[in-house]
Structure 1
Amino acid sequence: MSYLILVSHGRFSEGLKDALSMFVGDSIHTVKAIGLQSGEDTISFGNRFKSLLSDIGSDADLVVLGDIIGGSPLTTVCNILEQAGRLSTTVVLGGMNFPMALNAAILKDTSSSQDLISATLLEASSAVKQFTVHHEDDEDEEI
């Protein structure tokens, strides 16, 4: 079984998981969310992550999405995964957004790691663009 772990500052990951539940239905039980809360130190956060990780079988595949590469939450999670001997087999991506998380949630059980990485990063970047409204010219409208 594969798990998607959403990692963020604050409650961003929890909100993202809530939004994902509208799209992935029962598969949401394989999505976990954890965020470094305001005023929380990384030791406390790390202990919460260790608890979350202990609920996941050691043979499970992991995909970790973080809000910011180099941020304390993702760095802490990666350090704990390394200590547990699981980092080298875990897919870790940063710059998390909704399209990226949705794609990872859908593909995590059916795609190879490399295919998941390619598709997820492509979806994440292609979804970021300016929204524009196109108006039809008044001359083109029939009265």
Structure 2
Amino acid sequence: MKYLLLVSHGDFSNGLKQTLSMFAGDVVDSVIAIGLKPDESVATFGTRFETLFKNFPTDAQFIVLADIIGGSPLTTVCNVLNKYNKLHNSLIAGGMNFPMALAAMMSKDTMEDAELKAKIMSGGIEAVKFFNVSTPSESSDEDI
């Protein structure tokens, strides 16, 4: 089974999982959120993730979305995945946002890794836009 693992500093990953549940219901059962708590040591976070990790089936695969590449939470999670020989079969991306997580959650069981990777990235990138507010004199029928 494939799991979506949301990794962050603080409660970002938990909030993202909660928001995903509003859109996907029971599918969110395969989403795991873990965040490095304020004032928590990396060692404690690693132990907490390793304890959680031991509950997964041995054939589990992971799509890991993290707030930033190179941060302590993602590095720690990757070290645990590597320790249990799961890192090489995982898809890992940083800069997670809601569209990335939604695409990963909804498509993880139906797409091959290369196609899934492209869908996750395009969904995340395409969602980043500036919102332009027009004044009444500038508005047209096409404006919001």
Q: Normalized against structure 1, the TM-score is what?
A: 0.93
Deviation at 1:135, TM superposition (A): 5.6
CA distance in 2 between counterparts of 1:118 and 1:84 reads: 26
CA distance in 2 between counterparts of 1:132 and 1:9 reads: 30
CA distance in 2 between counterparts of 1:89 and 1:61 reads: 7
2:100 aligned residue: 100
2:3 aligned residue: 3
SS in 1 for 2:35: strand
SS in 1 for 2:64: strand
SS in 1 for 2:38: coil
Q: Normalized against structure 2, the TM-score is what?
A: 0.92
Unpaired runs of at least 5, structure 1 = none
Root mean square deviation of aligned Cα: 1.8
CA distance in 2 between counterparts of 1:121 and 1:74 reads: 18
CA distance in 1 between counterparts of 2:9 and 2:137 reads: 45
Deviates more, 1:129-138 or 1:13-22: 129-138
SS in 2 for 1:62: strand
Residue-pair matches, total: 141
CA distance in 2 between counterparts of 1:61 and 1:24 reads: 20
The sequence identity of aligned pairs, in percent, is 49
1:58 aligned residue: 58
CA distance in 2 between counterparts of 1:55 and 1:16 reads: 22
Q: How does 1:114-133 map to 2 (within 5 A)?
A: 114-133=114-133
Unpaired runs of at least 5, structure 2 = none
Q: Which has the greater radius of gyration? A: 1
